[in-house]
Chain A
Amino acid sequence: MNKQPILQIQNVSKQFPGVIALDHVTMQVASGEVHALVGENGAGKSTLIKVISGAYSKDEGTVLFDGLELDNPSPVDCINLGISTVHQELRLVEQLTVLENILLGSPKEISTLLGRLVDWKATRDQAAQLIESMGINIQPDALVGELSVAKKQIVEICKALSRNAKLVIMDEPSATLTEKELDVLFKIIRKLKQDGITVIYISHRLEEIFQIADRVTVMRDGKHIITDEVSSLDRKKLIAYMVGREIDNIFPDRTISTGNPLLDVKKLSIPGTLEDINFTLHEGEILGIAGLVGSGRTELARAIFGVDRKGSGEISIRGKTTTIRNIPDAIKNKMALIPEDRKLQGLILDLSVGMNISLVGIDQVLKNSLINSRLEKDVAEKHISLLKIQTPGWTQLIKFLSGGNQQKCVLAKWLVVDSDILIFDEPTRGIDVGAKQEVYRLLTNLASQGKGIIMISSELPEIMGISHRILVMNEGRITGEVDPKESTQEEIMHLATIQNQKSH
């Protein structure tokens, strides 16, 4: 294999007001390798790839790609040079077909009397060929909006290849994938490698690094910490590099006993989404909900919380039948939903930390029906110290906090109103190991205070690590309940994928 570096980063620095995002980073990516980039949130990974792909300009240092110095190129320059990025938030046009998406921006053209027009036949052939080379069954004429996340990602990769990418940067491609879909992604990455294409792979799931990467670079606090062969590292060492200290057991001890029934869900159905859901959540219990993306987990959370009203069924809280028609009803019953997507559903990014924290319990900071900044400060600072939220102050805009700290603010919002039933949808998505550990500790603490916790998660290790019981969902139904202490990941995957076999 060609061991020439395809990408050389020398002394690159980038500063934002008040933050040094990149601090003299020097690293090399060898041609044709799969190079993993890891680090906690705020370590500078995203900034680095944004500099490489032209989304940010660097303050100092040099970037050499394929022997050519990149002097703050535009994103389009980078694509033309052969640097493509597959973003975590996919940038596809949902209303167009697979074919149109792949060749968007670089269609084959043909000269006619009317000027240059798109040559649809050549375009289609090229796209079809690309999809076929992936070994995946995707119809070129399918609308992208109708594809699964995994297939959309493959379309993104095809799009990169159609522009003759030499370097493909994948920014947390696995965050939304199930285990099975991940296998497909890995197959494709191996194929890219075979074809001599270099891949930079960013992920928070360390297991994946060991499965797919040749070398790994660890970043921390905007600095380059180490680049090494994956084979000479292990999980523990890698984490130690990332957080700067060793973490022994990331899961806290489970609280032992659970108490009285807190939430009873009976025969909950939403036509086409949920079917005959029955379960009980107890005081002090962490109830895990596992299942593939699209199995109805999020819909279940939203239905209980009164977001989607069309359901039938019965919900009782502490043994009392309750009607929850909308979110205010759910809040009155001391329920909370910490949604899947922090930025889109959890936070008001342009408001301060304090304003976000007091949003649900705003009545508590009113005095003579005016917002009292003294009260608001007290409430905010109480929760900042309670949850150890790292922020320069309560008036800091929440968008400047790291993912883990933002997530804590979303939780704080519900602790202000003393919620008893907390539903977490993917609480550790996109946050780093150190912050994950803290979230686990928080969940366990809340449970030990007698609160009931429902945790939806795609990460089997964490759901098995902290739940008391796990419900597995598939196609809108609960297909089984397992005891995490006495079952394996394989058993859960089996329940999550079994085909419709409802007994009549």
Chain B
Amino acid sequence: MANATNKSNSAVKSIENFFLFSTREYAIVYMLLGLFVFLSATAQNFLSLDNMVNVFRQSAIFGILAAGEFFVIISGMIDLSVSSTAALAGILFAMIIKAGGVEMTPLAILAGILAGLVVGIVNGLLVSKLRIPPFIATLGSYLYVRGIVYVSTNAYPIVSLDEGYNYLGRGFILGIPVPVIIMVLVFLFSIILSERKKLGRYFYAIGGNEEAAYLSGIDTVKIKTLAFTVCGLLSAIAGIILMSRLGSGQPNAAIGYEFEAIIAVVLGGVSFSGGKGKALNVFFGTIFVAMLVNGMTILNINPFVQQIIKGVVFIVAIWTDVVRNRTKK
């Protein structure tokens, strides 16, 4: 029996080592390749160009949310309010176009983004100034922001909008869906901000060791607030694209999207404890989640079962994070 435990122990250990050393940073790349090969072999039409475009289009909205979440998580915090923020920005966008027609698009986008920035700043101040734990503060925001959406629409969808309303969600440029282009731009922005900008370095520093960052002269209150502000901005962009794609203003839109976003971030190897992780890998994490959902749909897996699988993937992703952080070697 002792032998058996030893064996299973060593099996667990070699799995742990896999995540711990050799592939720490690139685990997601291997997982993505593995999933790709598996689905290519098993799911019919998975490899078709149409379907590939589909995967990317499906990933765009929560991918942009994941990029926002990424900045908050590397700073050692979490934002649960991204889906509500997205809905608020999107509904504002829909309301303005409903009132003023499609010519108002620039103003509508601006208003949506502004709303996202405000929610982000408020989240940031709740956490950094009032020192409310991020989980609790943004859980509150998740509720009240969605509440604002319901109050401002009476929970009725905003319908019969001008044709051009759909462009950001359904349009194409040179055959590439507009949401995909925006997502790629957002990830380019995220890579530059996290790896080449002073602000990004400060996010990592605070997420890694807030006290040391503070004693090195970093204004931690300001930087933490900015992490939420960036997240609010990207949530708003995601929300605007989502509403445009839905073709109407849906007060219920984006509910649950924070989970896909967080799963993508964690699958991308970003540590929940902060200070570690790469934006590019979050992009791969995003594609992984989209591919998984797409594959399950093609394989005709019952949507309820899909939910179970997503939950399991989420827990496994978190487990790998725990393994990576464990001190016992």
B-contacting residues of A (Cβ < 8 Å)? 16-17, 55-57, 307, 327-328, 330-331, 337, 339, 344-351, 355, 359-360, 362-363, 366, 369-371, 413
Do residues B208 and A362 form an inter-chain contact, with CB atoms below 8 A? no
What's the least CB distance linking A329 to chain B, in Å?
9
Do residues A360 and B275 form an inter-chain contact, with CB atoms below 8 A? no
Q: Which residues of B contact A331 (CB under 8 A)?
A: 217
Bound-state Cα–Cα, A190 to B275, Å = 45
Q: Which residues of A contact B216 (CB under 8 A)?
A: 327, 359-360, 413
**Interface size, chain B (Cβ < 8 Å):** 26
Do residues A347 and B209 form an inter-chain contact, with CB atoms below 8 A? yes
Do residues B328 and A362 form an inter-chain contact, with CB atoms below 8 A? no
Do residues B213 and A348 form an inter-chain contact, with CB atoms below 8 A? yes
Q: Which residues of A contact B219 (CB under 8 A)?
A: 328
Knowing A371-B195, A371-B196 are in contact, say whether A345-B215 is a contact too (CB < 8 A): yes
Knowing A348-B208, A350-B208 are in contact, say whether A371-B215 is a contact too (CB < 8 A): no
Bound-state Cα–Cα, A330 to B217, Å = 9
Asked if B131 is an interface residue, CB under 8 A from chain A, the answer is: no
B197 contacts which of A348, A349, A369 (Cβ < 8 Å)? A369
Bound-state Cα–Cα, A362 to B197, Å = 10
Among A327, A348, A363, find the residue whose CB has the most chain B CB atoms closer than 10 A: A348
Do residues B329 and A362 form an inter-chain contact, with CB atoms below 8 A? no
Bound-state Cα–Cα, A415 to B143, Å = 48
Nearest 4 A/B pairs, CB to CB: A348-B208, A370-B196, A331-B217, A350-B275
Do residues A371 and B275 form an inter-chain contact, with CB atoms below 8 A? no
Q: Which residues of B contact A57 (CB under 8 A)?
A: 328-329
Do residues A351 and B329 form an inter-chain contact, with CB atoms below 8 A? no
Do residues B205 and A348 form an inter-chain contact, with CB atoms below 8 A? yes
A-contacting residues of B (Cβ < 8 Å)? 21, 192, 195-198, 201, 204-205, 208-209, 211-219, 271, 275-276, 327-329
Do residues A327 and B328 form an inter-chain contact, with CB atoms below 8 A? no
Bound-state Cα–Cα, A262 to B225, Å = 37
Q: Which residues of B contact A347 (CB under 8 A)?
A: 209, 212
Do residues B215 and A362 form an inter-chain contact, with CB atoms below 8 A? no
Q: Which residues of B contact A339 (CB under 8 A)?
A: 215
Do residues A371 and B217 form an inter-chain contact, with CB atoms below 8 A? no
Do residues B198 and A366 form an inter-chain contact, with CB atoms below 8 A? yes
Do residues A344 and B196 form an inter-chain contact, with CB atoms below 8 A? no
Bound-state Cα–Cα, A17 to B17, Å = 11
Bound-state Cα–Cα, A369 to B271, Å = 27
Q: Which residues of A contact B218 (CB under 8 A)?
A: 359
What's the least CB distance linking B3 to chain A, in Å?
11
What's the least CB distance linking B164 to chain A, in Å?
36
B215 contacts which of A337, A351, A366 (Cβ < 8 Å)? A337
What's the least CB distance linking A330 to chain B, in Å?
8
Do residues B217 and A360 form an inter-chain contact, with CB atoms below 8 A? yes
Bound-state Cα–Cα, A351 to B195, Å = 12
Bound-state Cα–Cα, A351 to B212, Å = 12
Bound-state Cα–Cα, A357 to B290, Å = 40
Among A330, A346, A347, A359, find the residue whose CB has the most chain B CB atoms closer than 10 A: A359
Knowing A346-B215, A370-B192 are in contact, say whether A351-B198 is a contact too (CB < 8 A): no
Q: List 15 A-B contacts (CB under 8 A).
A: A16-B329, A56-B328, A327-B214, A339-B215, A347-B212, A348-B204, A348-B275, A351-B275, A355-B201, A359-B201, A359-B205, A360-B217, A366-B198, A369-B198, A371-B198
Closest to B22 in A: A17
Bound-state Cα–Cα, A413 to B211, Å = 15
Q: Which residues of B contact A360 (CB under 8 A)?
A: 216-217
Closest to A14 in B: B329
Q: A344-B211, A362-B198 are in contact. List 14 more A-B contacts (CB 8 A).
A: A55-B328, A56-B329, A57-B328, A328-B219, A331-B217, A339-B215, A344-B212, A345-B212, A348-B209, A348-B213, A350-B208, A350-B271, A371-B197, A413-B216
Bound-state Cα–Cα, A388 to B275, Å = 27
Among B196, B209, B216, B219, find the residue whose CB has the most chain A CB atoms closer than 10 A: B216
Q: Which residues of B contact A363 (CB under 8 A)?
A: 198
B209 contacts which of A17, A344, A362, A370 (Cβ < 8 Å)? A344
Do residues A349 and B217 form an inter-chain contact, with CB atoms below 8 A? no
Q: Which residues of B contact A346 (CB under 8 A)?
A: 212, 215
Bound-state Cα–Cα, A328 to B215, Å = 9
What's the least CB distance linking B130 to chain A, in Å?
18
Among B205, B217, B327, B329, find the residue whose CB has the most chain A CB atoms closer than 10 A: B217
Do residues B215 and A17 form an inter-chain contact, with CB atoms below 8 A? no
Bound-state Cα–Cα, A362 to B328, Å = 34
Q: Which residues of A contact B197 (CB under 8 A)?
A: 369-371
Knowing A56-B328, A370-B192 are in contact, say whether A345-B201 is a contact too (CB < 8 A): no
Bound-state Cα–Cα, A328 to B195, Å = 23
Q: Which residues of A contact B215 (CB under 8 A)?
A: 307, 327, 337, 339, 345-346
Among B208, B212, B275, B276, find the residue whose CB has the most chain A CB atoms closer than 10 A: B212
Q: Which residues of A contact B275 (CB under 8 A)?
A: 348, 350-351
Knowing A344-B212, A346-B215, A351-B208 are in contact, say whether A362-B201 is a contact too (CB < 8 A): yes
Knowing A16-B329, A349-B208 are in contact, say whether A371-B214 is a contact too (CB < 8 A): no
Bound-state Cα–Cα, A344 to B213, Å = 10
What's the least CB distance linking A245 to chain B, in Å?
31
Bound-state Cα–Cα, A339 to B201, Å = 21
